[in-house]
Structure 1
Amino acid sequence: MVEEGAPSPVVEERASRDHDVAPVRAFWERLGLPGLVDVHTHFLPPPIERAVYAVFDAAGPKIGRPWPIRYRAPLEERVALLRAMGVRAFPTLPYAHKPGVAGFLNEWARGFARDVPESLWSGTFFPEPEAGAYVADLVGDGIAVFKVHVQVGEFHLDDRLLDPVWGVLEDAGTPVVVHAGSGPVANAFTGPEPMRAVLERFPRLAVVVAHMGAPEYDGFFALAERFERVRLDTTMVFTDFFDEAAGRFPDHLVPALRDLGGKILLGTDFPTIPYPYAHQLESLERLGLGDDWLRAVCWDNGAELFGVGVGG
């Protein structure tokens, strides 16, 4: 029962939503952009999503610290919030954590992309004998992007079972978002060396390095400088929370952000972030790299990579 004089839950929910929406829209409207292209968001099948949320809630060894999820809401509400904020394109980025699960994730993501026009059709794969075949089928069907997470999946990027996958993706130019950095917690599979080994054999791969490779920024920036199609996403980097969780972005690499401006893409990790969506944008702005840099990162680069038009 709502106490007399207290705001109703509906009013409180609307106020909270407006509080999140207004600063995001103000950011891109000031820059004269048609909205945002966010290349790193997650939508997962409900049972897997619940399992992922439980890992964050437990703050266990794979997370390493308390990590409250700000945007824990039903799928439809999260999509509506991104639309209200003006995010014109966003992926689902499923990631397989063991053999045999990629097919289920890929079929669910296919349906999501069919139902949500702004969605960048996403898929995943795992080092297993059939990976080359199902990735080739998805590429042939027009999938937009893949995601792999070596910290969670506990596999090496240079596993030879993935060679057919890398060959297909290199030939097609289909991007793959790769979480290979050791943040938030390192294991035997993280770090830049396995990615370097893959790129030396498949140098035209279109790789988007998640979280800019944090905390091994230097190693992953070197790959972006060396390989034409390697890009970096901003996901959580420069935020106050991530500075504490994964280490502060090194000052000596700030000039490289400008030099690699065409290869830097906005990413946020929505919904599993512990702060307002706008904080990621504010964190980019306070770098002081200028409005043209922000326009490229928040719209131009992602729109070009994924063929996003003003209509979305």
Structure 2
Amino acid sequence: MTLAGITPPGEDLRDEDLPALAAALGIPGFFDVHVHFLPPRVMDKVWSYFDAVGPLTGRPWPIRYRQPVDERVEQLGRMGVLRYSALPYAHKPGISEFLNDWAAGFADSFGNALRSATFYPEPEAGSYVRRSITDGVEIFKTHLQVGDFDPTDPYLDPVWGAIADAQVPVVVHAGSGPAPGTYTGPELIGRVLAAYPTLPMIVAHMGIPEYEDFLGLAERYVNVRLDTTMVFTDFTEETAPYPRDLLPRLRDLQPKVLLGTDFPNIPYAYAHQVEALARLDLGDAWLRDVLWHNGLRLFDA
């Protein structure tokens, strides 16, 4: 995709340019499967962690979109992001149901948001996950690095089983970036997929930095997909560049790659993620699917 005529010569793509880019591609806007909306007090704690250059980041990470909830929703709309997730994630036992209730209310208030939920390995996890599914949840999120738990924990057996049966996609941060965790990497989550081969998993951040391993899981399992969150951006390329020899395989996975950004918790403009995908030069059809059609097919079919 050439950005000629959308941005001034020599200038980066800006947030305000995104609707024009969508129009040039012939899509109505963008479908972002990796956006975070959390209860304000929880989000403030997340932002404080980034401000303090926490050990999982290890580098300055200025939050670009530090706005109240309503203003962030409006920001997405101005950029042409027509559908997006909320993706709460539990970092300890006992908070998933609180986060899920808040996320359900958020989706009720903002109709473009996917109804999102989370879980943690605890005795009641199977029950509240099944209840979320009955209540119409559209996407789950779990974070092995922040939660510091083993995805093969027996408490999660009814969770993975319910998600596989209901075919509700789950975004899983299993890669070892930005810093390895006790249970990150492809091995343990690979065991989950071997046990639940139809699990509709979306690999967050394309599995950074174990890109090839997670690409292989997407090739092997019919319902495993990859989201682009932060990958290919200048920020990530500095420390975990995506191997260019994998791009032909990524192009072949066109139906399984989904736009993700980590909005609002990103240290650069939202448009930079889209520009980073465009400059891969994998073809307009690939870009249209990643930015819009693949999300639409998965969630709004």
Whether these two folds match at TM > 0.5 is yes
1:92 aligned counterpart, secondary structure: coil
2:41 corresponds in structure 1 to 47
Quote the offset at 1:92 in angstroms.
0.5
Q: What letter corresponds to residue 260 of structure 1 in structure 2?
A: L
2:117 aligned counterpart, secondary structure: strand
> What is the alpha-carbon distance in structure 2 between the residues aligned to residue 60 and residue 219 of structure 1?
27
Quote the offset at 1:63 in angstroms.
1.1
1:295 corresponds in structure 2 to 288
Show structure 1 runs of 5+ residues with no match: 1-18
1:199 corresponds in structure 2 to 193
1:254 corresponds in structure 2 to 247
Indicate conservation of the 8 Å contact 1:157/1:198, yes or no: yes
1:144 corresponds in structure 2 to 138
- 1:15-56 CA-to-partner distances (Å, cap 9, x unmatched) read xxxx95422112211101011100000000011101100110
- 1:268-296 CA-to-partner distances (Å, cap 9, x unmatched) read 00001111111011100110101000001
Instruction: Give 2:118's match in structure 1, choosing from 121, 124, 142.
Output: 124
1:221 corresponds in structure 2 to 215
State, as a whole percentage, how many aligned pairs show the same letter.
57
- 1:63-94 CA-to-partner distances (Å, cap 9, x unmatched) read 11100000001111000010111111101000
1:123 aligned counterpart, secondary structure: strand
2:222 aligned counterpart, secondary structure: coil
Instruction: Give 2:259's match in structure 1, choosing from 258, 261, 266.
Output: 266
List, as ranges, runs of 4+ consecutive aligned residues in structure 1 with deviation greater than 3 Å: none
Indicate conservation of the 8 Å contact 2:224/2:256, yes or no: yes
> What is the alpha-carbon distance in structure 2 between the residues aligned to residue 204 and residue 239 of structure 1?
31
The answer to whether residue 102 in structure 2 is matched with residue 105 in structure 1 is no
2:4 corresponds in structure 1 to none
Show structure 2 runs of 5+ residues with no match: 1-12
The 5 Å alignment of 1:49-68 reads 49-68=43-62
The answer to whether residue 80 in structure 2 is matched with residue 86 in structure 1 is yes
Indicate conservation of the 8 Å contact 1:181/1:192, yes or no: yes
The 5 Å alignment of 1:225-236 reads 225-236=219-230
Indicate conservation of the 8 Å contact 2:151/2:192, yes or no: yes
- 1:123-153 CA-to-partner distances (Å, cap 9, x unmatched) read 0000001000100011011110000011100
> What is the alpha-carbon distance in structure 2 between the residues aligned to residue 244 and residue 185 of structure 1?
14
RMSD of Structure 2 on Structure 1 (CA): 1.0
> What is the alpha-carbon distance in structure 2 between the residues aligned to residue 208 and residue 251 of structure 1?
22
1:5 corresponds in structure 2 to none
> What is the alpha-carbon distance in structure 1 between the residues aligned to residue 151 and residue 143 of structure 2?
9
> What is the alpha-carbon distance in structure 1 between the residues aligned to residue 207 and residue 35 of structure 2?
17
> What is the alpha-carbon distance in structure 1 between the residues aligned to residue 17 and residue 189 of structure 2?
37
> What is the alpha-carbon distance in structure 2 between the residues aligned to residue 111 and residue 129 of structure 1?
25
Greater Rg over alpha carbons, structure: 1
- 1:167-188 CA-to-partner distances (Å, cap 9, x unmatched) read 1000000000000101111121
Distance 1:248-1:21 versus aligned 2 partners, 3 A rule: closer
> What is the alpha-carbon distance in structure 2 between the residues aligned to residue 209 and residue 257 of structure 1?
14
Distance 1:50-1:136 versus aligned 2 partners, 3 A rule: same
Indicate conservation of the 8 Å contact 2:215/2:250, yes or no: no
1:114 corresponds in structure 2 to 108
TM-score (norm 1): 0.91
Instruction: Give 1:241's match in structure 2, choosing from 235, 238, 250.
Output: 235
1:120 aligned counterpart, secondary structure: coil
2:279 corresponds in structure 1 to 286
> What is the alpha-carbon distance in structure 2 between the residues aligned to residue 37 and residue 126 of structure 1?
27
> What is the alpha-carbon distance in structure 2 between the residues aligned to residue 47 and residue 20 of structure 1?
30
